[in-house]
Chain A
Amino acid sequence: MKEIVCKLLVIGAGPGGYICAIRAGQLGVDTVIVEAVKAGGTCLNIGCIPSKALIHAAEEFERVTHMAQAKSPLGISVEAPKLDLSKTIAWKDGIVGRLNSGVLGLLRKARVKIVHGRAKFRDGKTVEVETETGMQVIRAETIVIATGSEPVELPFLPFGGPVISSTEALSLKTVPAKLAVVGGGYIGLELGTAFAKLGSNVTIVEATSQILPQYDAELVKPVSKRLADLGIRVLTGAKAKGLSGNALLIETSEGAEEQLAAEKILVTVGRKPRTQGWGLEELDLDRAGNFLRIDDRCRTSMRGIHAIGDITGEPMLAHRAMAQGEMVAEIVAGKKRIWDKRCIPAVCFTDPEIVTAGLSPDEARAQGYEIRVGQFPFNANGRAMTMLSEEGFVRIVARADSNLVLGIQAVGSGVSELSSAFALAIEMGARLEDIAATIHAHPTRSEGFQEAALKALGHALHI
């Protein structure tokens, strides 16, 4: 097979890789992208998108179930709803398929050559790809590693049989009667909550003293309350020990052993960079822990090799990878670019949702800032009331001397859509006065954002 020679080779067509290739193509860079599985990577195929589809279906089902129990204050009652999970999954697969073709179409439109197969480095400039039609050698001036991450496996709970990762959880054909979730981070809670709403009896086992350990207790509180309302058992300070027949063996926070009967055991203890299977050992790149070490232009320790996305470290988020991919494409095209983002917003699609952008109050204090904090609860927001979801709040952290906004957090139903306003405010260098003086449409949840700014300035109007 004839060798391909190109200016830019991108390894991995996840959100980082495909954005990098599209942008490079737009800028006239001769670009090739290699993908071993499916365009869109973890995010589109087995991550963000399918999980959000399942979460939405579960919310709908739970809402109707609630109405069927004649508990709805809206005066709506229905007969007992039924769920055909295989249909739900087929619907989800349809969405994934549409987006798949969309990504391939965008790559083609940007004149990017797509090679399907598993790439392996031969040396610092050359990659071999095992394609269906044989070995394809690609030589490139610049290479971008965007191989992503994969679920961490526990040695005493290897994947297989009843032990599943998030990938299998998103393709179950029936709702497991009993589901044990090992790991109370955002992935475990998102999926655990969805299955509880679909009818599973869910137990969550978290080794640390708090679920969602990366968030402060105040943000997590509404989520914990909702988990309890849904009948989900949360065991903090508990450790999974292994499998015992059809049960998960755990050690509780008191040190007692307990067996949790479970049809499925979902292990979501984190993700690790995918450093195996593509010839990284041929390159000997510098590491930062398990990740590849990069600088502020996403350059690795070897000239001509960049890395973007989950392989480069935390936060392992699709939109961070996309921003890095776009930046690297522009650098390859000869533009002057460095990573100077002020924040990477993060969303946790639990019930209620959590959004964070920038610094939490504790982080700001730890960095030596004198701060002022404004917090506005949704139970004083008209729109939240009309949607039966008054839990949660918006919180703004600002410098006490200049009112410069350092961070914004919110927890509440549907707050994920406020993430853009939060990120924009921080990226633009907004002060409390900017947010307070911007007219926010009524009646919306976003008024909580304005009110939090007013509160920090000492003159909230609706509280």
Chain B
Amino acid sequence: MGEFIIKMPDVGEGVAEAELVEWHCKVGDPVREDMVLAAVMTDKATVEIPSPVNGTVLWLGAEIGDTVAVKAPLVRIQVAGEDGEANAVPMAEIVTHSSPSPQREEGARRADEGVSPASLSQPAPSSGPAGHRLPAVEKGRRAASETPADKPLASPAVRLRAQDGGVDLRQVTGSGPAGRITHDDLDQFLARGAHPQPAATGFARKTAIEEIKVTGLRRRISEKMVLAASRIPHITYVEEIDVTDLEDLRAAMNATRKPEQTKLTILPFLMRAMVKTIDEQPVVNATFDDDAGMISRHAAVHIGIATQTPAGLTVPVVRHAEARGIWDCAAEVVRLAEAARTGSALREELSGSTITITSLGAMGGIATTPIINHPEVAIVGVNKIMTRPVWDGNQFIPRKMMNLSSSFDHRVVDGWDAATFVQRIKALLETPALIFIES
């Protein structure tokens, strides 16, 4: 009896590791040639790893969710016949589900041409001025025009500064002999940005720069935005909603409201519609702790309301919107907005939201790309209500239209779920009576 080691195959150009997503065998299982043993995932492709031999599984090299380096042992199989490390082969034949990512196709295409992506338009370090002596394999494939003259003329110190500053020296005009770029040339280029000077006009140039230190709330906003934008892959879905009937209802309710009742805006209706929809779509009312790899789905609906204050953006939270009626929602929104603007909001009132609404009211624009309030997974953006012509089958009629621009964390919310959530809200807002019908 011998042992056969199956190693993690090279699943794509330049990928050094892949995540194990499925085992189709366990220790002790008999396996036949071509039987799928495991599946690993890279980018968007799932790759099945078949067995090249008949035998019995002795050992599995990873658990589901583990990241496995390319060429690391993955499965050991007991086979009849010779033993040997010589049997350790990276699998060459791999079966890919779903379409390969463009990158991989590109890689495959280049491989066909005998050119590795690493070498494309990137000559290896070479000798001679301007790196003109390419390795033998590169010779004969260079454009005839590529000469040392194409390299900007500058001292090593200037070139280093340019690298540090991300400046392409070919864009910089050199004032020195033979067009040499001096430190001064680079300074001037950096000072005026990478754009040529506009032609002289009657307008005076302004050169003053006001430096504003980012501190306090502005710094916290900045940090939070960077965290959200850099860690969360956003998908934004924009849909238009006919709010004519809703606006009629809102006007009627406001006309008959009691003195102690707060004037209704669109927001309370949207909040109630969201609560109703979250019952059916709990996936969007969640927080995602990506460090721990844990999603928490909340039964409570704590809706954050992004609010502009003189100091900047804050997000007071309407807690337990699921337990509040429409007037209660309206009152709480007004109360919290006021507290936020005057700086009297409590810590608890500014944290703990499970989903957020952002609305710029009349400034709402046609569409926005809201940034999710980390660690939530969804944010609903309200755009401006405008009267637009709508085709009713026979003619154009004026209708009050409003767009919702909503962003979702694409790691945990698929496009389908995002669309379903928004479509359900649309249905409720377009036939507003549905909001008030008990399920």
| B147 x A294 contact (CB < 8 A) | no
Judge whether A293 and B124 touch: CB under 8 Å.
Answer: yes
| A197 interface hit (Cβ, 8 Å) | no
Q: Are B124 and A282 in contact, with the CB atoms below 8 A?
A: no
What is the distance, in angstroms, from A8's C-beta to the closest C-beta of chain B?
A: 15
The stretch of A178-186, A398-406, A443-451 in contact with B is A398-406
Interface membership of B243, Cβ < 8 A: no
B127 close to A (CB within 8 Å): yes
| Interface residues of chain B: helix, strand, loop or mixed (majority) | loop
In the complex formed, the residue of A with least CB distance to B154 is A429
Smallest CB-CB separation from A433: which chain B residue? B177
Per-residue A-contact encoding for B161-187, CB less than 8 Å = 1, 0 else: 001101000000000011110000000
How many Å lie between the Cα of A399 and that of B7 in the bound state?
Answer: 56
* Per-residue interface assignment for chain A, residues 182 to 215, with 1 indicating a CB less than 8 Å from any chain B CB and 0 otherwise: 0000000000000000000000000000000000
* Chain B residues positioned under 8 Å from A433 (CB to CB): 177
Q: CA–CA, A88 to B155, complex, Å?
A: 43
A340 & B155 in contact (Cβ 8 Å cutoff): no
Instruction: Verify if B32 is at the interface (C-beta below 8 Å from A).
Output: no
Contacts A295-B118, A302-B14, A369-B147 given; does A125 touch B69 at CB 8 Å: yes
Cβ contacts A334-359/B at 8 Å (1 or 0 each): 01111111111010000000000011
Chain B residues near A404: list those with CB within 8 A: 153, 178
B136 interface hit (Cβ, 8 Å) = yes
Distance to closest chain A CB from B225 (angstroms): 23
Q: Is the CB of A296 within 8 A of B124?
A: yes
**Could you say which of A45-53, A235-243, A263-271, A309-317 contacts chain B?**
A309-317
Residue from the list A123, A284, A313, A367 in contact with B135, Cβ < 8 A: A313
B10 contacts across to A, CB distance below 8 A: 284
Q: How far is the CB of A94 from chain B (nearest CB, A)?
A: 33
Most buried by B among A282, A295, A304, A346: A295
Distance between Cα atoms of A94 and B208 in the complex (Å): 64
Kindly identify which residue among A121, A338, A343, A429 contacts B153, using a CB–CB cutoff of 8 Å.
Answer: A429
Whether B58 is near chain A, meaning CB under 8 Å from some CB there, is no
**Inter-subunit contact B159/A304 (CB<8 Å):** no
Partner of A300 from B118, B127, B148 at Cβ < 8 Å: B118
A274-289 contacts to B, CB under 8 A, are 282-284, 286, 288-289
Is the C-beta of A368 less than 8 angstroms from some C-beta in chain B?
Answer: yes
- Which of B16, B127, B155, B166 is within 8 Å of A304, CB to CB? B16
Given known contacts A125-B69, A282-B71, A369-B147, is B127 in contact with A315 (CB within 8 Å)?
yes
Chain B residues 66-80 with CB under 8 Å of chain A are 69-72
Answer whether residue B412 sits at the interface, using C-beta atoms and an 8 A cutoff. no
CB neighbours (8 Å) of A359 from chain B are 128-129, 132, 148
Q: Give chain A residues whose Cβ lies under 8 Å from the Cβ of B117.
A: 301
Within 8 A of B (CB), among A291-330: 291, 293-296, 298-305, 312-315, 320, 324
Is the C-beta of B282 less than 8 angstroms from some C-beta in chain A?
no
Q: Count chain B residues whose beta carbon lies closer than 8 angstroms to a beta carbon of A.
A: 50
Contact with A along B116-159 (1 / 0, CB 8 A): 11110011111111111101111000001001110101111001
Residues of B within 8 A of A342 (CB): 128-131, 148, 151
Measured in the bound complex, the distance between the Cα atoms of B135 and A313 in whole Å is 7
User: Is there a chain B Cβ closer than 8 Å to A7's Cβ?
Assistant: no
Q: Which residues of A contact B136 (CB under 8 A)?
A: 288-289, 314
Interface-centre pick from B70, B148, B151 (highest chain A CB count, 10 A): B148
Interface contact A291-B155, CB-CB below 8 Å: no
Give the chain B neighbours of A363 by CB distance below 8 A.
128, 132-133
Q: Which residues does chain A contribute within 8 Å of B180, judged by CB atoms?
A: 429
Cα-based distance from A215 to B166 in the complex (angstroms): 38
Distance (whole angstroms) from the CB of A11 to the closest CB of chain B: 16
Give the tally of cross-chain contacts (CB within 8 A): 150
Does B275 touch A at the CB level, under 8 Å?
Answer: no
Beta-carbon contacts of B414-434 to A below 8 Å, as 1s and 0s? 000000000000000000000
Q: A201 CB to closest chain B CB, in angstroms?
A: 36
Cα distance, A301 to B13, chains bound together (Å): 8
- Kindly provide the distance from the CB of A463 to the nearest chain B CB, expressed in whole angstroms: 25
Q: What is the number of residues of chain A that contact chain B, defined by CB distance less than 8 Å?
A: 61
Interfacial chain B residues near A434, Cβ < 8 Å = 177
Q: Are A288 and B148 in contact (CB under 8 A)?
A: no
Give the contacting residue for B71; candidates A283, A298, A312; CB below 8 A.
A283
CB–CB B14/A431 < 8 A: no
Q: Cβ of B144: which chain A residues have Cβ within 8 Å of it?
A: 368
Residues A336 and B164 in contact, CB atoms below 8 Å apart? yes
CB neighbours of A314 from chain B (8 A): 127, 133, 135-136
Q: Judge whether B118 and A299 touch: CB under 8 Å.
A: yes
Is A96 part of the contact surface with B, judged by Cβ < 8 Å? no
| Residue A428, interface by CB 8 Å | yes
B13, B118, B126, B163: most-surrounded residue (chain A CB, <10 A): B118
Tell me how far the C-beta of A408 lies from the nearest C-beta in chain B, rounded to whole angstroms: 10
Q: Which residues of A contact B178 (CB under 8 A)?
A: 402-404, 429, 431
Query: Are B119 and A295 within 8 A (Cβ)?
Result: yes
C-alpha spacing A449/B277, complex, angstroms: 83
* Alpha-carbon distance between A346 and B128 when the two chains are bound, in angstroms: 10
Within 8 A of B (CB), among A365-381: 367-369
Choose among A124, A428, A429 the residue with the greatest number of B CB atoms under 10 Å from its CB. A429
Check B154 against A294 for contact (C-beta < 8 Å). no
Known: A368-B147, A404-B178, A429-B178. A291 touches B125 (CB 8 A): no
Beta-carbon contact of B16 and A296 below 8 Å: no
Contact (A288, B135) CB under 8 Å given A342-B151, A429-B178: yes
Bound complex: CA A303 to CA B164 (Å): 22
State in angstroms the CA–CA spacing of A365 and B398 once bound together.
Answer: 76
CA distance A286 to B13 in the complex (A): 10
B148: chain A residues at CB < 8 Å are 342, 359, 367, 406
Closest A residue to B156 by beta carbon equals: A427
Name B residues whose Cβ lies closer than 8 Å to a Cβ of A.
Answer: 7-8, 10, 13-17, 69-72, 90, 116-119, 122-133, 135-138, 144, 147-149, 151, 153-156, 159, 163-164, 166, 177-180
Given contacts A126-B72, A304-B16, A358-B128, 14 further A-B contacts (CB under 8 A): A123-B7, A125-B16, A282-B71, A286-B119, A296-B125, A299-B118, A335-B164, A344-B127, A359-B128, A359-B132, A407-B128, A429-B154, A429-B155, A431-B178
Name 12 A/B residue pairs within 8 A (Cβ), A-sorted: A125-B69, A126-B72, A289-B137, A296-B123, A305-B16, A312-B125, A314-B127, A336-B166, A368-B144, A406-B148, A407-B129, A433-B177
Taking Cβ atoms with an 8 Å cutoff, the residues of A that contact B are: 121-126, 282-284, 286, 288-289, 291, 293-296, 298-305, 312-315, 320, 324, 335-344, 346, 358-359, 363, 367-369, 399, 402-404, 406-407, 426-429, 431, 433-434
Across the A-B interface, give the 5 residue pairs with the lowest CB-CB distance, nearest first: A123-B69, A124-B16, A344-B127, A123-B72, A295-B122
